[in-house]
Amino acid sequence: MYVLDLIGIAAYAVAGALVAIDRDHDVVGIVVLAVMTALGGGIIRDLVLGDTPPPAFTTWQYLVVALAAAAVTSVAHPWLGLLGRPLLVFDAAGLGFFGVAGTQKALDHGLAPVAAALLGVTTAVGGGVLRDVLARETPALFRVGSELYALPALVGCLAYATAAALDLDSPALAAGTAAAICVVRLLAVLRHWRGPRALRRRSPVGPSPVDGPTPP
Task: List the one residue from 7, 48, 88, 163 that touches its own copies (CB under 8 A).
Answer: 48
Cα 14 to Cα 30: distance, rounded to the nearest angstrom: 10
In the bound state with its own copies, the residue whose beta carbon lies nearer, of 134 and 183, is: 134
Task: List the one residue from 82, 202, 209, 216 that touches its own copies (CB under 8 A).
Answer: 202
Nearest to 195 by CA among 156, 146, 126, 153: 146
Site for its own copies, residues 61 to 80, rule: CB under 8 A = 63, 73-75, 77-78
Minimum distance of its own copies from residue 111's CB (angstroms) = 6
Q: Could you tell me which residues come within 8 angstroms of residue 11 by beta carbon, excluding any fewer than 6 positions away?
A: 69, 87, 90, 91, 93, 94
Sign of the Cα torsion 199, 125, 167, 1 reads positive
In the bound state with its own copies, the residue whose beta carbon lies nearer, of 71 and 183, is: 71
Site for its own copies, residues 105 to 134, rule: CB under 8 A = 106, 109-112, 114-115, 118-119, 129, 133-134
Minimum distance of its own copies from residue 73's CB (angstroms) = 8
Number of residues this chain uses to bind its own copies (CB under 8 A): 66
Minimum distance of its own copies from residue 172's CB (angstroms) = 27
Q: 110-127 burial, b if ≥16 CB within 10 A, otherwise e? A: ebebeebbbbbbbbbbbb
**What is the phi/psi pair of residue 146, to 5°?**
-80, 160
Residues lying near its own copies in the complex (CB under 8 A) are found at 20-21, 23-30, 32-33, 35, 43, 47-50, 52-54, 57-58, 60, 63, 73-75, 77-78, 106, 109-112, 114-115, 118-119, 129, 133-136, 138-139, 141-142, 144, 149-151, 154, 194-202, 211-213, 215
